[in-house]
Structure 1
Amino acid sequence: MRRGTRMLGRYDVGRTIGEGTFAKVKFAQNTETGENVAIKVMDKATILKNRMVDQIKREISIMKIVRHPNIVRLHEVLASPAKIYIVLEFVSGGELYDQIVHQRRLPEHKARRYFQQLIDAVAHCHKKGVYHRDLKPENLLIDAFGSLKVSDFGLSALPQQGVEILHTTCGTPNYLAPEVLAQKGYDGAAADIWSCGVILFVLMAGYLPFNEADLPTLYQKISAAEFKCPLWFSREATSFIENILDPNPKTRIRMEDIIKHTWFRKDYVPANHREEENVNLDDVRAVFEDIEAKYVAEQPETEVMGSLVMNAFEMITLSQGLNLSALFDRQQDFVKMQTRFVSRKPAKVIISTIEDVAESMNLKVHTRNYKTRLEGTSASKARQFAVVVEVYEVASSLFMVDVRKAAGDTLDYHKFYKNFCAKLDSIIWKPTNPKATSDLLRTIRC
């Protein structure tokens, strides 16, 4: 087995591809089928300490219930004495938000196609009695075929039988419906529809319909639905969005009317979806049944006293299909939240340069072996901000530097990455030989 990987049942677990407050996401491969997966790893003790048992159980249960082509698929749930492993579909195309950052705004026909897929997924959730409550472009992923996948059901709700009104205020403020902010109870379906309308506006406009620096003003504009569609919106699209962003949930357009609307129906191809049979949640209950028992500490993962090793397969998979040009072109890299570049400098020089640049940007630096975490505040000074930088050896004297968001807003992250790379120019390798990329593939260690 190559350094930096370990086995979890039938899965060969590799590098970290995502990191949050309560979980890490690892890239892995099913050794029986060759399928790529993402494994969300959570510590049982942390879940218990933060009283998140019910929330995590709900998230896992919901993802098993709402299987759909436009929803990230949950394959299975595994557990060890100390950890829970959620095995998910690996979605390689990044966030929908990254396309907005890269392209500024999407053409109407492309925005409509993503919106159709979003509505297909959300309508399926509502049919199952599930309300997402945190719909935003950052939670919408794009797969290798360009299809949208809804993710992150951590704030989703499954109303109790006979209860139609939800009361918890949650989600991202700019995408929240007025009735959610009012804290007087709300219809989860109508609230999700509002969020979908904000997403459609952002896709077509390239900016938020409600975006104020202070929360009271933001809430006031949302409550009054105080927004204006840009001139480049078609008349029909403008009318459609105004029907969705109706501040009154009782008169707001319903899901069935969205699907019947002429703007929505144009070139509409419904998802080819076969209803699942009754979902068995016994495995979910089994995983959590001992969570309040005394935990047995797992052996720590083996320290890698040197740069991590990435083989050719991983490198190709984690770049844009088979096109490695994005590794050498920082502008193309903007289509992903996970941004990366290549360097021919020694690994220790790369790390020390990153540390020096980060400190010059007033970021706190924490380095362990060849993994560095940078922490600070966003450009607006309003939010905490963190990124993780890892150095991987992909060939002799050739290193890939992977930078990913660990905390904070995606737009802040992209602004940071652009500025960060400008200061790291001395260590970034940009091949001038057109054959460099193909030659690289032949030299990468398999």
Structure 2
Amino acid sequence: MAYHRVETKEQSMRNFYTLIEQIGEGTFGKVFRAVNKATGQEYAIKSIDKQTLSQDEINSMHLEVEIISQVDHPNIVRAYEFFDEPKTLHVVMEIMLGGEVFERIVEKDHYSEQEAAWTIRPVIDAIKYCHDMGIVHRDIKPENLLYSSFDMDGIVKVTDFGLARFYDDDLMTTACGTPSYVAPEILEGRGYGLEVDYWSIGVIVYTMLCGFLPFNEDTNEALFEVIKTGQYEFTSPYWDNISENAKDLIRRCLKVNPKERCTAQQMMNHPWIVGTNNPQINMPDVANKIREYNARRKFKKYGNTAIASNRLMSIIISKRNQG
């Protein structure tokens, strides 16, 4: 994997790649579809304007580069080379043209619990791989789960390691994450570990099976208070026909006490993830609810945008002072 510290115009990323269009936006930069001028091969290039970042954010950006340069898993988006220019860092990555997981679900002719389990299983395997390497993602959400292509054999991959960190058993304290998916221990200001990723997976599985979030309020402040209680419901009639195995997995993930949560290895061995007896009945109502969810999140940004340490901590501190 090549790292280019750019010191002349001839070394610039634009001498090697042509940017075609913007296709996304990550925690610290915009993502473009690009073509290698020499080979014609398509890539995604994440371009990060270093001038708009604080020193802490620049450090986070370099840590992201360090992390993604070390991971190698079939269900994690690959990075190929880096161009570190005076004002911008460009990360050349595998291009993912198949859309987000929740966008693909609503396009399926048949969507069942079995489909949901098959979809989330490789994500859990990728997170287990990261945790085995001592990496915690800290921003697992549907927008960061992308398909490689629209083909039937397109595979889902985890992307955006902008908030990821190496973890060596020393509890982390930085308050960060995406509000709808953030674990309660982060909001409590307690030290936390790998278990924050297990909570996020639980939120995703819940949403995949009913089309709405387990914790949902009109403001971040109200949302955080509900998350800290860990109180949610399997609301009738939406959950009436969902299997007990699915509900059991969600319960095991959405434990307020992180030490009681299901680990990635335990998830991989869970009957619902193994999927030998999962219902294969079509769930068109769930697909329709997910379609509604997709439409709402385009406008309701507070619950789906990653919040780095300073902004999230200010919300938490403000709420504590009020109480």
TM over 0.5: yes
Matching residue within 248, 252, 268 for 1:243 = 252
Q: Is the 8 A contact 2:179 2:305 kept in 1?
A: no
Residue identity matched to 1:139:
N
Residue 151 (structure 2) pairs with residue 143 (structure 1):
no
Name the structure, 1 or 2, with higher relative contact order (CA <8 Å, separation 6+): 2
More helix by share: 2
Residue identity matched to 1:114:
T
Residue 32 (structure 2) pairs with residue 26 (structure 1):
yes
2:80 maps to what in 1?
A: 75
* Cα distance between partner residues in 2 of 1:78 and 1:88: 12
| Change in CA separation of 1:22 and 1:10 when aligned onto 2, cut-off 3 Å | same
Residue 168 (structure 2) pairs with residue 165 (structure 1):
no
| Change in CA separation of 1:135 and 1:21 when aligned onto 2, cut-off 3 Å | closer
Shift of residue 19, structure 1, vs aligned partner: 4.6
Unaligned runs of 5+ in 1: 1-5, 269-333, 340-377, 385-406, 410-446
1:252-276 CA-to-partner distances (Å, cap 9, x unmatched) read 22222212222211269xxxxxxxx
1:180-203 CA-to-partner distances (Å, cap 9, x unmatched) read 21111112x211011001111111
Q: Is the 8 A contact 1:65 1:128 kept in 2?
A: no
* Cα distance between partner residues in 1 of 2:220 and 2:13: 46
Range with greater deviation from structure 2 (174-183 or 207-216): 207-216
Shift of residue 66, structure 1, vs aligned partner: 1.7
Identity, % of aligned pairs?
A: 36
Matching residue within 151, 155, 161 for 1:153 = 161
Shift of residue 102, structure 1, vs aligned partner: 5.8
Correspondence list, 1:365-376, <5 A: none
| Change in CA separation of 1:185 and 1:19 when aligned onto 2, cut-off 3 Å | closer
Matching residue within 227, 232, 235 for 2:232 = 227
Equivalenced residues, count = 271
Residue 272 (structure 2) pairs with residue 263 (structure 1):
yes
Residue identity matched to 1:175:
Y
* Cα distance between partner residues in 1 of 2:215 and 2:17: 44
* Cα distance between partner residues in 2 of 1:43 and 1:174: 27
Residue identity matched to 1:156:
A
Correspondence list, 1:9-408, <5 A: 9-19=15-25, 23-47=29-53, 51-99=56-104, 106-144=111-149, 145-159=153-167, 161=168, 163-187=169-193, 189-229=194-234, 230-266=239-275
| Change in CA separation of 1:207 and 1:101 when aligned onto 2, cut-off 3 Å | farther
1:8 maps to what in 2?
A: 14
* Cα distance between partner residues in 2 of 1:179 and 1:91: 32
Q: Is the 8 A contact 2:13 2:83 kept in 1?
A: no
* Cα distance between partner residues in 1 of 2:250 and 2:56: 39
Shift of residue 100, structure 1, vs aligned partner: 5.1
* Cα distance between partner residues in 2 of 1:44 and 1:215: 28
Q: TM-score, normalised by structure 1?
A: 0.55
1:406-441 CA-to-partner distances (Å, cap 9, x unmatched) read x979xxxxxxxxxxxxxxxxxxxxxxxxxxxxxxxx
1:69-105 CA-to-partner distances (Å, cap 9, x unmatched) read 11111011013343221101100011123235667x9
* Cα distance between partner residues in 2 of 1:198 and 1:21: 20
* Cα distance between partner residues in 1 of 2:184 and 2:25: 31
Shift of residue 24, structure 1, vs aligned partner: 2.8
SS in 2 for 1:52: helix
Unaligned runs of 5+ in 2: 1-11, 278-290, 307-323
Residue identity matched to 1:204:
L
| Change in CA separation of 1:21 and 1:249 when aligned onto 2, cut-off 3 Å | closer
Shift of residue 7, structure 1, vs aligned partner: 7.3
* Cα distance between partner residues in 2 of 1:32 and 1:82: 25
More strand by share: 1
* Cα distance between partner residues in 2 of 1:215 and 1:84: 31
Shift of residue 119, structure 1, vs aligned partner: 0.4
Runs of 4 or more consecutive aligned structure 1 residues displaced over 4 Å after TM superposition: 19-22, 100-103
* Cα distance between partner residues in 1 of 2:158 and 2:56: 26
Q: Is the 8 A contact 1:106 1:203 kept in 2?
A: no
Residue identity matched to 2:217:
E
* Cα distance between partner residues in 2 of 1:140 and 1:27: 17
Q: TM-score, normalised by structure 2?
A: 0.74
Structure number with larger C-alpha Rg = 1
Shift of residue 60, structure 1, vs aligned partner: 0.9
| Change in CA separation of 1:35 and 1:249 when aligned onto 2, cut-off 3 Å | same
* Cα distance between partner residues in 2 of 1:176 and 1:185: 14
